A and B are shown apart, each in its own frame.
Chain A
Amino acid sequence: MRAWLLDPNPRSRLQSRLGQAWLQALRFRRNHLAMLGLFITVTLLLAAIFAPLIAPHGPITQSLADRLQPPLTPGHLLGTDDFGRDILSRILYGSRITLYIVGLVILTAPVAGLIIGTVAGYFGGWVDAVLMRITDIFLAFPKLILALALVAVLGNGMENAVLAIALTSWPPYARVARAETLTVRNSDYIAAVRLQGAGATRIIWGHIMPMCLPSVIIRVTLDMAGIILTAAGLGFLGLGVQPPDPEWGVMISAGRKFLFEQWWVATMPGLAIFLVSLGFNLMGDGLRDVLDPKGAR
């Protein structure tokens, strides 16, 4: 198997691609911090998938007799909040909301950025000027404040928070995609495809976008932590996900009232946010070192 993967004369495109991926995986595995990041991310995924199986209680099951129990109370590993809800269970269920928000944003913003950037880069001229000017305008806005203003317009709630975050995070992807497009636009293989009669849509979709993907993907992994932090920030301010949904930012904001007496209510969900965004950052750093040796420090 290894010999087949590392064969210097691959017999098919698939074999050579798998071989490349194998080498990159090996390089990734040597980076201990990146592996830690991967571990945290996988744990998050598993927690989200199996939340109903591993959570000892329901996420919104109230039990006023057990309110504000400290951590390590039997049955409540991380303690309970002011409604007697189990904090560990809420964190586990909250991972679903976090993943859902991150997933929706990374399915929309990079795609929009990719399309805008490649179109601008491929056509050039006034199309480029107009699209890049719009991108600059969005970049000139402070991100969190624009997201706040958008949520104010759209109303509170998870979907609107996702929309606001997506609307504020596409410009960097457009920039990256345009830069990549400019480097391949005038290459011979594009000219060859064009001479064969391919239209602009086909060239951009089939021959330019794949070239932009690696740098966009690296950017996405590095951005995921930022998305989590913004979503939690919106929840914390009361503008994103609404209680009683167990979103981590909302939980911190609820625990703020009794920070000095019952510290665990606000501390535990924050720890979850921190660990998950650290995991994404570590993994993103490792991926960049592997996929983009130029950017490696």
Chain B
Amino acid sequence: MTPFLKQTGSTLFSLALTFLGLLIVTFIIARVVPVDPVTALLGERATAAQIAEMRARLGLDDPIWRQFGIYLWDVAHFDLGTSIRSREPVLSEVARYFPATLELSTLATIFGVLFGVPAGVLGATRPGSIFDQFTRLFGLIGYSMPVFWLGLIGLLVFYGQLGWVGGPGRLDSAYQMAFEFNVTPVTNMILIDTALAGEWEMFANAISHIILPAGILAWLSMAYISRMTRSFMMNELGQEYMTTARVKGMSEARVIWVHGLRNTMVPLITVIALSYAYLLEGAVLTETIFAWPGLGRYITDALLIGDMPAVLGGTIVVGCVYIGLNMVSDILYRLADPRAR
């Protein structure tokens, strides 16, 4: 077995353990929650016999380890329970909400990388310059900003005052009906679906709606990415191979953007994956402000009415995505850096 496979194997093993831990925690939360699932399902006026029957059906009379075993079995079969609010399987609901979150955070990460990496590299090559100080301050402000407040201010200025962007939601209400009739949901990501259906006017409207929330999340991600890129690049600039490259007569641009950036890319992969994972969760508040039908809003809405299966199912899915992104970054890291293999 090659060392690469062996290490990947041990990564997978520790991920499986982490996933088990995730399930244990959600199970404990589900069991100590003050909302009684039987009352939630049957209402306040159920008879004692009905309650006893429901308890037996839900397996609440079994010993706790058995309940946990059943829980594991269900999750292994992609059964995350039934939402109390809609009486639909949680997993299929989550599958419907998740693409909206994915679309938003992917767009934000793309912007974050496009602006953050060059800003970090330029800052590292001219430390202390006006540009460097401006980027640092811009990043620091992004770090310190309550994202829900930024969203409100953004709506107030760019939608309310200037009218440059669309308001809350994914489309104008005028397009909403046309969307349901004319566009077949393939991916449930509105930009891709409208483009596939050739509805360019609708596509443009969707862009005007996504640009503000995505831009706000991109600011957060850019703050983190540019800061890390800068410090990684500073490290590389002091290395001897940089001097060697210059002595060979290589142009300064090539030294920095090809040799330096290539070596910076290795730790940067982890940073980008982390900020992507963070955006998936950071979207909770942004989605609430922008009435964006994503996973974060699904979880918070469920929470406010005490729909625990939906909350925990959503939490498990977000946790899985989080764990999955960590694993991908771990593997990419080793593929990109021959020393780590």
Contacts and interface: CB of A to CB of B under 8 A. Distances in A.
Interface in B258-290: 277-278, 280-282, 284-285, 288
Nearest to A229: B146
A282 B160 contact: no
User: What's the dominant secondary structure at chain A's contact region?
Assistant: helix
17 contacts: A140-B319, A142-B281, A146-B25, A148-B300, A149-B312, A152-B33, A153-B29, A153-B32, A225-B143, A232-B146, A232-B148, A233-B285, A256-B152, A266-B152, A267-B153, A277-B144, A277-B145
Given A141-B22, A152-B306, 16 more contacts: A133-B14, A140-B326, A142-B319, A145-B314, A149-B29, A149-B312, A149-B315, A152-B308, A153-B29, A232-B148, A233-B146, A252-B149, A260-B156, A277-B143, A285-B140, A297-B231
A144 B284 contact: yes
Contacts of A144: 281-282, 284-285
A259 B18 contact: no
A273 B231 contact: no
B304 interface: yes
Contact of A149 (B152, B280, B311): B311
B17 interface: yes
B34 A153 contact: yes
B230 A236 contact: no
Contact of A274 (B17, B149, B152): B149
Contact of B318 (A142, A239, A249, A273): A142
B322 interface: yes
A109 B32 CA distance: 22
A137 interface: yes
A278 B143 CA distance: 8
A153 B296 CA distance: 18
A269 to B, nearest CB: 8
Contacts of B231: 297
The 5 A-B residue pairs whose C-beta atoms are closest, nearest first, are: A270-B149, A137-B21, A142-B281, A278-B144, A277-B144
A143 B284 CA distance: 11
B277 A142 contact: yes
User: What's the dominant secondary structure at chain B's contact region?
Assistant: helix
A244 interface: no
Contacts of B152: 252, 256, 259, 266-267, 270
A152 B308 CA distance: 8
B212 interface: no
Nearest to B19: A140
B332 interface: no
Contact of B140 (A236, A273, A278): A278
Nearest to B281: A142
Contacts of B315: 141, 145-146, 149
Contacts, number: 138
Interface string A170-204: 00000000000000000000000000000000000
Contacts of B303: 148-149, 151-152, 239
Given A142-B280, A233-B285, A281 B144 contact: yes
Contacts of B145: 274, 277
Contact of B311 (A152, A233, A237, A266): A152
A140 B34 CA distance: 25
A110 to B, nearest CB: 20
Contacts of A140: 18, 21-22, 319, 322-323, 326
Interface string A211-247: 0000000000000010001001100111100000000
A69 to B, nearest CB: 19
Interface in B131-170: 140-141, 143-149, 152-153, 155-156, 160
A203 B311 CA distance: 44
A267 B288 CA distance: 17
A238 B300 CA distance: 10
B225 interface: no
Contacts of B299: 145, 148
A12 to B, nearest CB: 39
A263 B141 CA distance: 21
B230 to A, nearest CB: 7
B234 interface: yes
Given A225-B144, A237-B288, A238-B304, A259 B280 contact: no
Interface string A70-102: 000000000000000000000000000000000
